[in-house]
Amino acid sequence: MKKIVLIRHGQSEYNLKNLFTGWYDCPLSENGFKEAKKAGKLLKEAGFLFDAAYTSVLKRAIDTLNVILNELGQDWVPVEKTWRLNEKHYGALQGLNKKQTAEKYGEEKVLLWRRGFDVRPAPLDKDDDRSPYRDRRYDDIPRQYLPLTESLKDAVERCLPYWQEVIFPSLKNKNQILVAAHGNSLRGIIKYLKNISDKDIASFNLPTAVPYVFEFDEDLNCVKDYFLGDPEEIKELMRQVAEQGKAS
């Protein structure tokens, strides 16, 4: 049985402060490192032996992956980093407090910005200090591909070709792959794998640093998917993610 494990990065400093993050490159919080280590232990106990790993170019995902591989004793596993696995770009919302934004604009509007499939927040100006145009890690990316804001639909259209053309085909000659990325980039992949509708994906909340395992047969048909960990604890973590955009 072939397996791909999807894992959202551990809690970041912006998660801790309940701020919109997007492409802002904030580090993991102290708890985020603990979460990543716990994920590594769960994967080790389950006997995972990875052949390859993929992550974004954002520090919180890279550090999560490194902690997990270290915990597994598999630091040697080849890692490929790509901007296509970055989080959804939250535009001008980046750095704003989610609760305060909900108080100002209403919970319904914030829910659309956070979870609406085809709703984009207001864009950054290309000369804004937060703009990817001003970040050297994206110097080799044609400007027309770099977002100043994104909907989930945009993020899916950015991430999915990389999944279809690079990650998933590599499973043909590998047995186990680890993908450490972000809530929305991974939700896009999960939407595709599970055929979740544009409407229903809004209510799917991915907790930080909980391994989500997809199993495939030798013909690469998905036969099973499940989270590693205590089901009740995971349910509570999902609830907490859903609550982040509420005013009270």
Q: Which of 9, 35, 71, 150 is catalytic?
A: 9
Tokens of 214: 């997809």
Give Cα 203 distance to the centre of its chain: 16
- Using one digit for the tens of pLDDT, what is the confidence trace for 103-162? 988 988 888 888 788 999 999 999 999 999 999 999 999 999 999 999 999 999 999 999
Please give the model's pTM, rounded to 2 decimal places.
0.94
Please indicate whether residue 89 is annotated as part of the active site. Answer: no
Q: Which residue among 35, 87, 89, 182 is the active-site one? A: 87
**38-91 pLDDT tens trace:** 999 999 999 999 999 999 999 999 999 999 999 999 999 999 999 999 999 999
Rounded Cα distance between 72 and 90, Å, is: 33
Per-residue pLDDT reduced to its tens digit, 184-224:
999 999 999 999 999 898 889 899 999 999 999 999 999 99
- 80 belongs to the catalytic site: no
Strand ranges in the chain using DSSP code E only, listed in sequence order: 2-8, 52-55, 79-81, 176-181, 212-216, 222-227
| Spatial contact of 61 and 85, defined as CB atoms under 8 Å apart | yes
